[in-house]
Structure 1
Amino acid sequence: MVPKKKVVIVCDKNSRTSFGRLTLDLEHTLFADFDVSILWLKTPKYFPDDDKALPEERGTKSSSIWAKSLHMGFYKFREPFVEYLQKLDPTIVFFIRPELGFLVPVAKKVCPKSKTVVLIHDTFAETLYPFSVKFKLISMFYAKPTAKADGFVYNSRYSKREAEKYYGIAGRPNAVTGLPLNSLYYNQNSDRMLYRSMRKSFREDLGIKSFKAMVLNVSLPEKRKNIATFFDMAKARPDVAFVRIGKVNRYVQMLLEERHLKNVFHFTSLSVTNLREFYRHADLFVQPSFQEGFGLPPLEAIACGTPVVCARTTALAEIFSDVCPTVSPATDVQGYLDVLQSVMDGKYEYNAEKVSELLARYSIKTIADKLSAFFYSILDR
């Protein structure tokens, strides 16, 4: 029997972040065709317990290297990364995001026969903050070397267009695959009507009481996520609980204080199973982002049978326009509220055929076939 070719996935975020969850999903996606390992680049920010793996990380074929921060990791990760690659001798080194591009030249030097591939979700960190010294440095030293990779995987046609403009890599080996939906966690096998009767008790167990419904958002605390519009919805509907899964930074706190909201609740660092329960018990999921490279949370919510409404912007329009209501402009609070009211009135309905097509398009099997085909194509070059 011919041994499988080795793929190492390199990730610097834990499995309770979108990048970490994606890393584990890609491991499941590729394992049938490749011998897959994960290398976690660990820093205290995302891995505070340096000697412990989160439950969902256990059982994976993984290793880790440490630095006090990603900035320190620019120097500290290199030597142990070299030792790891020399020992593993992978066929493909698959970087989970372009900000890890500073290790692409290292991999190419240490393993000249291997292929380096970068998964590009978006170029927001590189393009949205032109006056930020921090992001200029990240772009120059961390992300720019991404262009030296042998191939690129994109989560959407939108991300492909933007990345090709920014990195100057048009025409280079690539595949637009989308992102895999883990149907083991996010699926419609359960009867959503069962959860309707349980939503009130679910909210009360979390200390969210005396509200008619729960609206959910999963987002980073960034301006491009248009969190302000989500909070404006909350101000307009004080009888509804608005739950956001994500960190509260100074910017988010300022938005809350300006609106004097008492019906907004925050949760963070959730396991996949806990996040799934929020999806299942939500009455509506809202993704009002100005810019998205893909939109995994609304896809996960749709898979759980939860009503979804998105802004008609960037990749959200590309992926979800035919499946769920979309709102334009992204700041149209009333547009989202109209969808909420239709849900509360029992009038929101999905097109079952469109949903089925969407979930099949981003199933683990579909993404596995696309990724495997692309990996073998660049190995033949």
Structure 2
Amino acid sequence: MKPIAIDAHMVGERETGNETYTLSLIRALLALPPDERRGFDFVLYATEPARLRARLNPNHAVRIRRIWPAPSPLRIPFAMPAATLRDRASLLHVNYVAPPAGACPHVVTVHDISYDIYPRFFSPRDRWMLKTLVPFTMRRAAAIITVSQHAKQEIIARYGLPADKISVTYEAAGEQFQPVADPAARLAVRQRLGLPAHVPYFLALGNLQPRKNIGRLVEAFALARQAPELASTRLVIAGKALWRESEIYAAVQQAGLMDVVHFPGYVDDADLPALYSDALAFVYPSLYEGFGLPPLEAMACGAPVICSNAASLPEVVGDAALTITPTDAGALADALRQVVAAPALRAQLSQRGQARAAQFTWRRCAQETLEIYRRAKKG
């Protein structure tokens, strides 16, 4: 049986959304019962096979091949085509960029085209590479997967690609994202991340980059803390520092909030449920998302969610979050005050959020992805 090859090189690279999608999809595909997976075999390509193997269920037998050289200028055009030829793969599934030529057709997942919609949020090098390579990959692909209807419509409008070539498979919060009620477990995570014990905090999570709009959140937090009931609150901004992250640190300094804003850095998956569960609210003021997985994870953990009304986010959160215009610091400050001043609202958002998160599953994503593979192989 000719296998489906899946590029999993980013697993373990702390690539946040792309890594979560790839790892969660692989796990869900391998967990499907044999009758659903009939006719499918998989081979996974990783730059560090042991690291990928450690993240998978040991009961799931799957081939993992080392892909080398690791740097993308060599891995994508040379190593991957050679690997698919060696493995006699029937299909190659990648994120964003596929080899320019190869021994088998490819399926590409394009989470969003933010590089084209908001080019100012990317370094000149990344912007040039993405604007050149991603459209080229999509035009050559046997099938395109994206993660929201909003992202699909943008791809169609921007590149004129046929709608029937693009499928939407929604992401989901993993099974580990559940409310953590144990105070000791929450406290242990606070201590591990260097956060003060027993102090109420708002949580923001995501790579520190301009698109996440964290500077505006800092401004709103400074406004909200003027209310007496918020004077003791803190802001936790978790995530890996990326391009232009210094602007966020500068905003904190300028607002005089150095003692009440905490940057624990990248947070491991194992610590996220407790971090979400312990928050007064999870705040996601992003200017643009193809899907927006962190709000769904926070909802699954019972955290009230405040997020922007931009791009795909209303499609994801439905009526289970407080949504605000991301450029309006005053509206965001009001939302922060509301969730503190109104315990009934906080409880309602928590309840609605858990119900909303339960509507999205990785199992369904895997089932729909298998169907896309079937169609792509036939085509």
Classify the TM-score, shorter chain: 0.7 to 0.9
User: Which TM-score applies when normalising by structure 1?
Assistant: 0.81
Judge conservation of contact 2:152–2:168 (CA < 8 Å) in 1: yes
Q: Distance in 2 between matches of 1:156 and 1:139?
A: 20
Give ranges in structure 1 of 5+ residues lacking alignment. Answer: 43-49
Aligned: 1:241 with 2:234 = yes
In 2, the alpha carbon distance for the partners of 1:306 and 1:106 equals: 46
Change (3 A) 1:90 1:208: same
The aligned residue for residue 46 of structure 1 is none
Look up the SS of the partner of 1:290 in the other structure: coil
Between the aligned partners of 1:212 and 1:278, the Cα distance in structure 2 is: 13
Letter in 1 for 2:271: N
Choose which of 10, 13, 34 in structure 2 pairs with 1:13.
Answer: 10
Point out where structure 2 has 5 or more consecutive residues left out of the alignment.
226-230
Aligned partners of 1:251 and 1:8: how far apart in 2? 40
Give the distance between the partners of 1:17 and 1:164, measured in 2 at CA.
26
* Equivalence for 2:346: 348
Paired residue type of 1:134: R
Distance 1:307 1:12, change over 3 A: same
Contact 1:217 1:243 in 2 (8 A): yes
Task: Please state whether the residue corresponding to 2:348 is helix, strand or coil.
Answer: coil
Higher alpha-carbon deviation: 146-155 or 198-207: 198-207
Q: 1:201 to 1:89 in 2, by over 3 A?
A: closer
Q: 1:94 is matched with which residue?
A: 93
Amino acid at match of 2:256: H
Q: Which residue of 2 aligns with 1:45?
A: none
Kept in 2, the 8 Å contact 1:310–1:324? The answer is yes
C-alpha deviations, 1:74-105, integer Å up to 9, x for none? 24543222221112222221112x2x24x2x3
Q: TM-score, normalised by structure 2?
A: 0.82
> Structure 1: how far apart are the matches of 2:75 and 2:169?
32
Q: Which residue of 1 aligns with 2:41?
A: 35
Cα RMSD after superposing both structures: 2.9
User: In the aligned structure 1, how far is the partner of 2:286 from the partner of 2:293?
Assistant: 12
Give distance in 1, aligned partners of 2:141 and 2:49.
32
Q: 1:348 to 1:279 in 2, by over 3 A?
A: same
**2:271 aligned partner:** 274
Distance 2:49 2:27 in 1: 24
**What is the CA–CA distance in structure 2 between the aligned matches of 1:227 and 1:168, rounded to whole Å?**
33
Q: How does 1:299-338 map to 2 (within 5 A)?
A: 299-331=296-328, 332-338=331-337
User: For residues 140-194 of structure 1, what are the alpha-carbon distances to aligned partners after superposition, in whole Å with 9 as ceiling and x for unaligned?
Assistant: 44323222111111110111011122332133422111113321x1135x5x4x4
**In structure 1, distance between residues paired with 2:75 and 2:148:** 33
Q: Is the CA contact 2:280–2:340 (under 8 Å) kept in the aligned structure 1?
A: no
After superposition, the C-alpha distances for 1:97-137 in whole angstroms (9 at most, x for unaligned) are x2x24x2x323xx22xxx31111111012332269642442
Residue 21 (structure 2) aligns with: 22
Distance 2:221 2:355 in 1: 32
CA separation of 1:12/1:123 partners in 2, compared to 1, >3 Å: closer, same or farther? farther
Distance 1:23 1:355 in 2: 24
**Corresponding residue for residue 169 of structure 1:** 161
Counterparts in 2 of 1:210-249, with a 5 A limit?
212-236=199-223, 237=225, 239-248=232-241, 249=245
CA contact (8 A) 2:81 2:101 kept: yes
- CA 1:172/1:328 → structure 2, altered by over 3 Å: closer, same or farther? same
What is the Cα deviation at residue 227 of structure 1? 0.4
User: d(CA) in 2 for partners of 1:207 and 1:81?
Assistant: 41
Q: Quick one: structure 1 residues 279 and 62, their matched pair in 2 at CA, closer, same or farther if it must change by over 3 Å? A: farther
- Deviations along 1:239-286, one digit per CA (max 9) or x if unpaired, are 212111212332322222322322111123332112233222222111
- Given the alignment of the two structures, is residue 145 of structure 1 paired with residue 136 of structure 2, yes or no? yes
The residue that corresponds to 1:294 in the other structure is 291
Matched, 1:123 2:120: no
Change (3 A) 1:166 1:132: farther
How far apart are residue 26 of structure 1 and its match? Answer: 0.5
Instruction: From 362, 368, 371, give the equivalent of 1:370.
Output: 368
Cα 1:210/1:372, change in 2 over 3 Å: closer
What is the rounded CA distance, in whole Å, between the counterparts of 2:45 and 2:109 in structure 1?
15
Shift of 1:330: 4.4
Cα distance in 2 for partners of 1:256, 1:67 equals 40
Q: State whether residues 179 and 362 of structure 1, in contact with CA within 8 Å, keep that contact through their aligned partners in structure 2.
A: yes
| Aligned 8 A contact 1:122 1:293 in 2 | yes
Residues 28 and 209 (structure 1), Cα distance of their counterparts in 2 relative to 1, 3 Å cut: closer
C-alpha distance in structure 2 between counterparts of 1:12 and 1:353, whole Å: 37
Match of 1:203 in 2: 190
Letter in 1 for 2:107: V
Does residue 252 of the first structure (1) align with residue 258 of the second (2)? Answer: no
